[in-house]
Amino acid sequence: MSHEVTPTAAPERSDDVRLLLRFWPLLIGFAVLAAPTFQALGKQVWSRESGAHGPIILATGAWLLWRAVPTMREEGRPGSPWLTALLMALSLACYVFGRAFDFISLEALGLYGVAATMIQAHLGLRTMFRHWFQFFYLGFAIPPPQWFLDQVTGPLKQFVSHVSTGTLSALGIPLSREGVTIYVAQYQLLVEDACSGMNSLTGLTAISLFYIYLLRGSSVKYSLLLTAFVIPIAVAGNIVRVMTLILLTYFFGDEVAQGFLHYTAGFFLFVIDLILVFLLDNLLIKLVPKSWRPA
């Protein structure tokens, strides 16, 4: 009895390796640019709770892009040299300016632009648009500028602290609030950026989109719909987090609330938020019109 041997993806992947070896000078040049940026991101952004999702997005986004390489190579055509030169000049200018003046957001944006321009030069804009999700998803790894975070998290911090103190006051917990500062017993708590919902919002949105893409496929309408529900889920989760920290402070003291349990509560509630997103997805996929459902 003869057995038919089915081809595997190994030859395609070996071609990908040969492609990397072919462009090794460009890859080394990109690595020289990327190394100091990653080091700065590690110190300034990824080491903080508000930016901890960055490495996860970078790793999963790179995996999504690598997975799409065989299809992109079949569809791709070299991009316009003039467009490549223009995009590379703009990206390098953004990178150099951000690097020189310590604007990590501009530096990361410039590095992202350099990588995207290199792909455009080899595969063309049309192919990149067909695989838009991978590039959009990787954009979540670029840290937003601090002035933007201040503008967005300011109202969120006010709202989170107002709802948290109002709810606990109604339950008989003696506390007061001045802006984003909460006074409970002899302790003073400050609702920081990490508790405002912004970090949960960014991480939840990115991971939710990653989940939709893997399980459902890419759909702009459905992705926007689920993202709209992610926002209240993230904010509600941080309200519960602040209330939890207030109760821990009131009953067990500031050392317990601001120590290990502070980060444990944040991680636990993020997992709960993520589970709620998954449950919501399974409900929405049954309710939305067929034209909105991912292919």
What is the C-alpha separation between 144 and 109, in angstroms, rounded? 10
Q: 């990588």: which residue's tokens? A: 115
Of 67, 94, 241, 293, which residue is the catalytic one? 241
DSSP SS3 for 110: helix
Q: Which of 211, 225, 207 is nearest to 292 (CA)?
A: 225
Tell me the residue type at 205: T
Alpha-carbon distance 140 to 218, whole Å?
Answer: 17
- Kindly tell me the burial class for residue 61, based on how many C-beta atoms sit within 10 Å of its own C-beta (0-12, 13-18, 19 or more): buried
Token reading at 32: 């020289």
Q: Are 177 and 183 in contact (CB under 8 A)?
A: yes
Catalytic residue from among 94, 99, 177, 195: 195
Q: Is 195 a catalytic residue?
A: yes
| Active site annotation includes 241 | yes
Amino acid identity at 294: P
Other C-beta atoms lying within 10 Å of the C-beta of residue 216: 16
**Residues labelled as active-site residues:** 195, 241
